[in-house]
Amino acid sequence: TQLLEQSPQFLSIQEGENLTVYCNSSSVFSSLQWYRQEPGEGPVLLVTVVTGGEVKKLKRLTFQFGDARKDSSLHITAAQPGDTGLYLCAGEGGNNRKLIWGLGTSLAVNP
Amino acid sequence: GAVVSQHPSWVICKSGTSVKIECRSLDFQATTMFWYRQFPKQSLMLMATSNEGSKATYEQGVEKDKFLINHASLTLSTLTVTSAHPEDSSFYICSARVYGNTYRWMGADTQYFGPGTRLTVL
């Protein structure tokens, strides 16, 4: 059974601070996706990483896929209150191509 | 592009009644649709995978007679919560996926999510 461990589960920081969210697994994923979700809404795809070692940037967000495609990280620089939300990682692997979800990181950025 | 809608966005019902939730892909035909359940500040829990014209595949622990899924067309899937009880209260989210590069303007093999439906059973 594929599992995706996401940490931290909760994070409360001050505006301007940096943070990193991790997703780790013992399994290899063909791709890994990061989503952001606001209360009462569906998840919105931020990025998909496919190649081992790949780094993608989305303004102040930097996403990295591990060389072995078993782990990924999301780094936010100079966090702003608008970054507040639930961040979810999801890996795709196996023949059924279902997404394996991390437990999520609930981020609160205080002004 | 790649919009998935859900209806209703929220519903309150009495215990024992059935509730139907619709999921539509508005500007594309989805190969597969997924139904998820989510509790506050928690991750998504996959309930079932639905392909058009075939029976849904339910995840372990999800009662198929309780959560009826109908996938009548490539743009519409419905989830019916039968004889709902307070413990069924949750946020239900659907997603639609197109495999491969059928639509050049979409990300390949990307899953697009609906806005969710908040179900409250009294």
Residues B7-23: pLDDT tens digits?
Answer: 999 999 999 999 999 99
Average pLDDT over all residues of chain B: 89
The predicted pLDDT at position A1 comes to 62
Q: Which residues of A touch B118 (CB under 8 A)?
A: 40
Q: Which residues contact A105 (CB under 8 A, 6 or more apart)?
A: A6, A7, A8, A9, A10, A11, A21, A86, A87, A88
**Partner residue facing A40 (CB), from B110, B111, B118:** B118
pLDDT digits (tens, 9 = 90+) for B49-76: 998 888 899 999 999 999 999 988 889 9
Taking the C-alpha atoms of residue A2 and residue A92, their distance in angstroms, rounded to an integer, is: 10
Number of A–B residue contacts, CB under 8 Å: 50
The tokens for A74 are 């999301």
